[in-house]
Amino acid sequence: MQDRMSSTERMGAVLMGQKPDRVPVNPFILGFAAKICNLPLGDLYTDPKKCFRTQLLCAEMYGYDATPMYAYASYGAWEFGGEIGMPYEEGQSAPYVIKHPVETPEDVDKLEVPDPKTAGSIPVSMGVGKLCYEHGMPVVFQSGEVLSPAAMIAEPSRLLSWMIRKPEVVHKLNKKIAEYFVAVAEYFTSTFGADKCMSFAGGPVESNKLINANQFAEFVYPYMKEIHSKVLGMGVPIILEHPCSDQNKNLPYYQKLREELGWKGKYIWVFGPETPLERQIEIFGKHDVLMGNVDPPSFQFKDFDEIVALCKDNIERGIKNPSGYILGVGCELPPLAPPINVYAIMKAAREYGSYK
Amino acid sequence: MVIRELFCYPKHLCNALVYVILRRIKKWFLEKSDILKGLADATIAGDTEKAVEWAKKALEAGIDAYEAIMDGCSVGMNVVSEKYEKGEMYVPEILCSAEAMYAALEVLRPHLKTATMGVPKKVVLGVVRGDIHDIGKNLVKLMFDAAGFKVIDLGKDVPNEKFVEAAVKEGADLVGLSALMTTSMVNMPIVINELKKKSNKAVTMVGGGTLSPELAENYGADGYAKDAAEAVKVAKALLTGGK
Ligand code: B12
């Protein structure tokens, strides 16, 4: 099928609850774009112009509908005074923490909430944001859940054991991160106008591979609610929420969040492949957009036909969401995926994703 | 009845003595199983103070340190690992169990006798280059430690050559490679091939979230395990059965 809408029109239609020509595609591509453009991966995370342009070119080349953004999972350590490594070495796929700024509970007391204008990666993400703004695209800022950055600040294993041994220290740290995220949101919304912004939230340490639902309730939920309600209160219309990996046990809390916030704004949910779309439709279907969650590692190991089949299955299930669906990947698409497998997503969207 | 009679007749004093000794032994065994259970329970509960207490009691009661580790701490860690797989325990609790176990090991290890335990098998373990996901690898280390292996932990984002160097230098019996990402996994066959050239002694095992038995075979690994408890079982089988 030939595309009859531009990417902007297509995404716009879905977000306004209308039917586009076909399902939009957001393959969660970051590092892959750099590989395709023969750009050192580290440049993607350090140079706003290159970060923007490679993502734009990659989207143009394949015809998918995502706009450039800046985000990575090891977020938080650099911003709070630690040290980050950029993925310039072979085999590396994203930024990684070299030095965690917190080693002891006393360090948490001393930790200062950084200035959102200068903290760590913010100047780069602001640079990418400016380019998006100039091109009439949404400006995405990272204002994730608190536990993943807390783990990056204090080192994951240390933070996880503090959750039992020293819960008060974890709460102290979480409060500072929440304060920081709200300040970041204020910085971006006051620069571009809230209606031009989109907040990207979520993280892997919240996954039920690591913590249980009660721990999510205690250490994630209250901060998540506070940040989201403030961000929405500033007028940010869309939150792109990525509960990474298996978060099935946390689902009741994501539901509670939406209910308690009165289903304000529009959420785009990107769950990991472990959460069936049917379950997501049950919970969020009346209000929110779902982004598909095809299994990321498959893109590196499976062949073209298998990827088309996986995407077809995802489309058939996701398109049933009354509030809209975007074909997507359950986490970042592996940078080393064979390029033809990204075309497989487009092929599936065009062949099986058209709205009658 | 019979027992009372024994005490009534001095000529059976000898039998009485036997009785007392038997009771002592029984008590010792009871005490021993209580102590081992105490050690296991303290490990499961992540109660560091209790774990140290039971470890000291074990030594006072004359329990062999190796036995205390294997039948106390290790039994506890196996329960912890099973509970994690069933979703009854999560990583924060496991890390507390680990803390308790290591505290008990600190008390017990200086009393290990090579005569009873033999020379421990050496495992070189690490997360491959480009990958910083080390929580799973740390759990594998924990289970190997609990099972009495000597683990040389190379950490995360380990350069390929470092695995080979360490395996050769340490005379490793087993090299364990962990990877969580498709981008970093590709380093596994490179390390395995190099190891095969440079150390014909060490068997290789791979693991980590997104790996599968099929990939492990494609990469030329001798073994694969889906979780930390199974990793120890597979390692033992590989090391007794050879490659
Ligand atoms: C927590 C997490 C993180 C944390 C890691 C913190 C840390 N220090 O470990 C942080 C935030 C840093 C992170 C970062 C990233 N992550 Co991450 N992360 C996860 C997550 C949610 C959980 C991993 C985990 O700890 N599991 C719990 C442990 C206990 O399980 P395990 O590791 O599998 O280990 C068990 C077994 O596998 C086995 N085992 C493990 N090792 C070994 C070794 C041997 C020899 C044996 C026998 C057995 C064995 O025993 C263990 C215990 O039972 C996974 C999701 C998943 N499905 O795994 C994603 C995941 C691994 N991450 C992913 C990605 C994409 C990233 C990033 C690239 C994101 C980004 N763009 O920034 C970065 C990469 C950073 C880097 N440079 O490496 C993807 C990888 C996809 C792919 N292409 O393969 C995953 C799979 C998420 C997804 N669904 O897509 N992540």
Q: Cβ of A339: how many Cβ atoms within 10 Å? A: 12
Taking the C-alpha atoms of residue B70 and residue B76, their distance in angstroms, rounded to an integer, is 9
Question: A212 and B157: CB-CB below 8 Å?
Answer: no
Question: A91 and B187: CB-CB below 8 Å?
Answer: yes
What SS3 class is residue A294? strand
Place of tokens 């949404």: A138
Taking the C-alpha atoms of residue B162 and residue B176, their distance in angstroms, rounded to an integer, is 13
Query: What is the rounded (10 degree) CA torsion for B125, B127, B128, B132?
Result: -160
CA atoms within 13 A on the CB side of B221: 28
- Does the pTM surpass 0.95? The reply is no
What SS3 class is residue A249? helix
Rounded average pLDDT over B218-243: 90
Rounded average pLDDT over B179-197: 94
Whether A353 shows a pLDDT value over 70: the answer reads: yes
Tokens at A13, concatenated: 């239609």
On whether both B24 and B129 belong to a single domain, the answer is no
Which CATH number covers residue B209? 3.40.50.280
Cβ atoms of residues A210 and B91 within 8 Å: yes
Of residues A295, A335, A334, the one with CA closest to residue A311:
A295
Measure Cα distances from A349 to A268, A334, B39, B40 in Å: 18, 19, 58, 55
Cβ atoms of residues B144 and B98 within 8 Å: no
On whether both B87 and B193 belong to a single domain, the answer is no
On whether both B94 and B147 belong to a single domain, the answer is no
Which CATH number covers residue B10? 1.10.1240.10
Cβ atoms of residues B129 and B186 within 8 Å: no
Taking the C-alpha atoms of residue A226 and residue A316, their distance in angstroms, rounded to an integer, is 35
DSSP at A96 = E
The reply to whether CATH 3.40.50.300 applies to domain A7-352 is no
Residues of B with CB under 8 A from a CB of A: 46, 87, 90-93, 95-96, 99, 128-132, 134-135, 138, 157, 181-184, 186-187, 209-210, 215
Mean pLDDT of chain A: 96
Return the percentage of chain B with pLDDT > 70, whole number.
91
Categorize the per-residue pLDDT at A144 as very low, low, confident or very high, splitting at 50, 70 and 90. Answer: confident
On whether both B77 and B18 belong to a single domain, the answer is yes
The phi and psi torsions of A291 (rounded to 5 degrees) equal -105, 135
Cβ of residue B206 lying under 6 Å from some atom of ligand 1: yes
Residue that terminates a domain, selected from B54, B81, B111 = B111
Cβ atoms of residues A128 and A98 within 8 Å: no
Q: What is the pLDDT of residue B30?
A: 60
On whether both B88 and B170 belong to a single domain, the answer is no
Q: Is the CB of A46 inside 8 Å of chain B's CB atoms?
A: no
Rounded average pLDDT over A258-272: 97
On whether both B99 and B13 belong to a single domain, the answer is yes
Of residues B143, B152, B126, the one with CA closest to residue B205:
B126
For B215, the domain range is: 119-239
Query: Of A99-103, A303-307, A318-322, B225-229, where does mean pLDDT reach its minimum?
Result: B225-229
pLDDT in tens, B129-158: 999 999 999 999 999 999 999 999 999 999
Distance in Å, CA B209 to ligand 1 centroid: 6
Q: Could you tell me the end-to-end alpha-carbon distance of chain B, in angstroms, rounded to an integer?
A: 60
Rounded average pLDDT over A223-240: 97
Rounded average pLDDT over A169-185: 98
Q: What is the pLDDT of residue B7?
A: 53
Categorize the per-residue pLDDT at B17 as very low, low, confident or very high, splitting at 50, 70 and 90. Answer: confident
On whether both B94 and B193 belong to a single domain, the answer is no
Domain boundaries, chain A: 7-352
Q: Which residues face B177 on adjacent strands?
A: B126, B206
On whether both B6 and B105 belong to a single domain, the answer is yes
Taking the C-alpha atoms of residue A149 and residue A184, their distance in angstroms, rounded to an integer, is 14
Number of domains chain B is built from: 2
Tokens at B30, concatenated: 């009871």
| ipTM summary value | 0.94
On whether both B52 and B136 belong to a single domain, the answer is no
Whether B119 shows a pLDDT value over 80: the answer reads: no
Mean pLDDT of chain B: 90
- The residues, any chain, with a CB within 8 Å of residue A294's CB and separated by 6 or more, are A273, A307, A310, A311, A314, A327, A328, A329, A330, A345
